[in-house]
Amino acid sequence: MAKLSVNDLNVAQRRVFVRVDYNVPMEERGGEMVITDATRIKETLQTLRLLIEKQAKIILAAHLGRPKGKREPTMSLRPVAGKLSEMLGRPVAFVDDCIGEKVDKAAAALKPGEILLLENVRYYNEEEANDAAFAQKLASIAEVYVNDAFGAAHRAHASTEGVPRGVASRAGQCAAGLLMERELKYLGHELDNPARPFVVILGGAKVSDKIKVIDRLLEKAGVILIGGAMAYTFQLALGQKVGKSLVEPDKTGLALSALEKAKARGAQFLLPVDNIIADAVNTGKLNKKGKPILEFRNPRVNAQPNIPDEAEGLDIGPATSARYAEIIHQAKTILWNGPMGVFEDPRFAAGTLAVARAVVHATEKNGAKSIIGGGDSVTALNQAGLGEKVTFMSTGGGASLEFLEGKVLPGVAALTEQSP
Ligand code: 3PG
Ligand code: MG
């Protein structure tokens, strides 16, 4: 059943609690926290402008990082209030708490069309515990609830699950925001009945992260293209040598069953035919997490099935890139999640870039719908300046994967059903 939309709400003069995902990357510069990518803020502007136009009193709630119940100053949402104000071209008030007297006062003082951002809800452990009393306090300032935080909708936390339950229990409406609706449309309905050929491109480090998505998409996709380190687990499963490549040796069974399922369904399941490899040399230094820092020397194409013992696979090779690009060019629907290699290092970015260009080409020249499933593939596309050239980029990481797996997201489930 479809959920109530922010479009359907009558919110004039009413206090609306809007959960947003402002968990944006930040960096410390000269003692200040600076937002390095404001995409998640930008993507909520449409919902906020609609609520302003409808003369709602807007209360924004969000989390930042994982402060684990402490007031961690580097995880304050204060810089987000400044950024949002700049992007909206109007004031955004900020209160340095999310419950209590200060918040009640600030909420009561709101005039129609005004916006208040609350401090990080994860400064309280009760947020992640979905504590009923805490949710009740958060909900007490709101008459209506809107969830535009797709990226956090897989969490059954107070601000995503407890608050809408509380608002609904006193017959208040709980609706999806416009970003939430776009996410559910592209990652949901659009993929339920995709125009064919439907090509799925999966990369990233781990088979275990993607196996359920593979399982579900095998029902629909004609072609699945595999890249990233997860490809090496498949190669290991097929009895090839993978050298020092990142693998999950205990997941080869899963990999084999995915290959068998693809065969049984008549879906093409393609693995790289060549790789970019390099010698992994221990520098003797440790990173922040205490792990040895490796240096990759002598990057080269490896065009045979086995990777030499001393080497590590770090990207798909040129023959694979060309083969994948050719298939992507024919697609009418594309879902891409996960980079093809270690694209942060320019020596191992060619495969991811080739896929990114092919996806854009199919979108522009073949009328394909291209849907990018969030996380690193979005970063890679933006880095290549191609982010505007695909049909849709998800703002979710974990949430988009869980949704693609077919799971019910608690933040969505808690919203009011549309009346038939
Ligand atoms: C994200 O960045 O993936 C979301 O904001 C959820 O954050 P979390 O993984 O810390 O719950
Ligand atoms: Mg996450």
Give, using CA atoms, the residue closest to atom 3 of ligand 1.
397
Cα–Cα distance between 153 and 74 in angstroms, integer?
24
Measured from the CA of 396, which atom of ligand 1 is nearest?
3
Helices (H) and strands (E) in the chain, counts: 17, 17
Cα–Cα distance between 419 and 281 in angstroms, integer?
62
Cα–Cα distance between 110 and 95 in angstroms, integer?
12
Other CB atoms within 10 Å distance of the CB of residue 237: 22
For 340-388, what is the HEC assignment? CCCCCCHHHCHHHHHHHHHHHHHHHHCCCEEEECCCHHHHHHHHCCCHH
For the chain, give the percent of residues with pLDDT over 70. 100
Distance 75 CA to ligand 1 centre (A): 13
The verdict on the CB of residue 68 being under 6 Å from ligand 1 is no
ω into residue 197 within 30 of 0, thus cis? yes
Cα–Cα distance between 302 and 365 in angstroms, integer?
32
The ligand that comes nearest to the alpha carbon of residue 374 is: 1
Phi and psi dihedrals of 395, rounded to 5?
A: -90, 0
The verdict on the CB of residue 155 being under 6 Å from ligand 1 is yes
Tokens coding 331: 């697609």
Cα–Cα distance between 72 and 122 in angstroms, integer?
10
| CA distance to 10, 11, 88, 228, per residue, from 144 (Å) | 10, 8, 22, 44
List beta partners, residue 265: none
Q: What is the pTM of this model?
A: 0.93
pLDDT surpassing 70 at residue 1: no
Told to judge if 398 belongs to the known catalytic residues of this protein, a careful annotator would answer yes
Cα–Cα distance between 80 and 86 in angstroms, integer?
10
The verdict on the CB of residue 21 being under 6 Å from ligand 1 is yes
Of 10-14, 289-293, 327-331, give the lowest mean pLDDT range. 289-293
Read off the pLDDT of residues 229-238 as tens digits, 9 standing for 90 and up. 999 999 999 9
At residue 157 the predicted structure's pLDDT band, cuts being 50, 70 and 90, is very high
Distance 24 CA to ligand 1 centre (A): 10
Measured from the CA of 157, which atom of ligand 1 is nearest?
11
Other CB atoms within 10 Å distance of the CB of residue 172: 18
Read off the pLDDT of residues 7-42 as tens digits, 9 standing for 90 and up. 999 999 999 999 999 999 999 999 999 999 999 999
Cα–Cα distance between 402 and 277 in angstroms, integer?
32
Identify the CA nearest to 335 among candidates 382, 362, 369: 369
Which amino acid, residue 348? Answer: F
Told to judge if 375 belongs to the known catalytic residues of this protein, a careful annotator would answer yes
| CA distance to 108, 128, 138, 185, per residue, from 59 (Å) | 11, 20, 10, 26
Task: List all residues 6 or more positions away from 209 whose beta carbon is below 8 Å from its beta carbon.
Answer: 230, 401
Question: Mutate which of 22, 36, 63, 379 to test ligand 1's pocket (most atoms within 8 Å of Cβ)?
Answer: 63
The ligand that comes nearest to the alpha carbon of residue 121 is: 1
The ligand that comes nearest to the alpha carbon of residue 152 is: 1
Question: Mutate which of 155, 159, 376 to test ligand 1's pocket (most atoms within 8 Å of Cβ)?
Answer: 155
Cα–Cα distance between 420 and 416 in angstroms, integer?
12
Coil/strand/helix, residue 191: helix
Tokens coding 3: 């959920």
Mean pLDDT of all residues in 204-213 = 90
The verdict on the CB of residue 152 being under 6 Å from ligand 1 is yes
| CA distance to 211, 224, 266, 326, 385, per residue, from 263 (Å) | 16, 12, 5, 21, 37
At residue 399 the predicted structure's pLDDT band, cuts being 50, 70 and 90, is very high
